Amino acid sequence: MATIGLSAAQAAPSFASVALRPEGAALRQEVLSALSALSTPDFPITLDDSAQGGGAVLVLGGSVPFNPDLSSRTLTVNNVRRTELNPKGPLPLSGAVRAEISSLLGLSEFSPQAARRKLSGADINGDGKVDLTDLALLMGNYGKTGGGLSGDLNRDGRVDESDLNLFTEEYSIP
């Protein structure tokens, strides 16, 4: 998950923190607004804009002119992802920020449900769905202990009933 700039809570996946570093007050406010739109009372999504959190740098504008048809462009500078948002692009700033966050997090749609599915950890295989394949991965490690186990949703180093309970909060019978 670190490749998408996400760090989940260590205690339990009752919230998620998205590592992004927006530059400037207006851009930071748009990022906070977008994350608020993805949050729910029982699963808030917060911004980690600390240098320690890493994550992509977001800037408004760039050093070279934009193609007017582009809302953003992404560069890698010194192994840091830098996304430049076009201030005169085809999308308003709020739309460009939402599109970038959707892309960074790999959301199937910009909605609280999609964010929770992606960030809760219940989508173990990362295909955008919480389904029986994910349950099979969890059950394949049920009873095991150690770091980095598929199915260790609460990140306590073991796959057990607590993880199964967290999974069932996200899974619904089709």
CA 79 vs CA 24, 65, 147: distances in Å: 22, 23, 26
Q: How high is the mean pLDDT of the chain?
A: 85
Which residue type, as a one-letter code, is found at position 83?
T
Question: If pLDDT is split at 50, 70 and 90, which confidence band does 173 have?
Answer: confident
Reading the block at residue 154, the tokens are 């609460």
Q: What's the pLDDT score for residue 87?
A: 92
Is the model more confident about 92 or about 13? 92
Which CA distances in Å does 81 have to 4, 55, 99, 159? Answer: 10, 7, 16, 33
All structural domains of the chain, each given as residue ranges with its CATH number in brackets, are: 2-119 (3.40.390), 132-170 (no CATH)
Predicted confidence (pLDDT) at residue 10 exceeds the cutoff of 70? no
| Predicted local distance difference test score (pLDDT) of residue 9 | 38
Continuous segment of H or E residues that includes residue 36: helix 25-38
Tell whether the model's pLDDT for residue 52 goes beyond 80.
no
Q: Are 31 and 20 in contact (CB under 8 A)?
A: yes
Report residue 14's pLDDT band, with 50, 70 and 90 as the boundaries. low
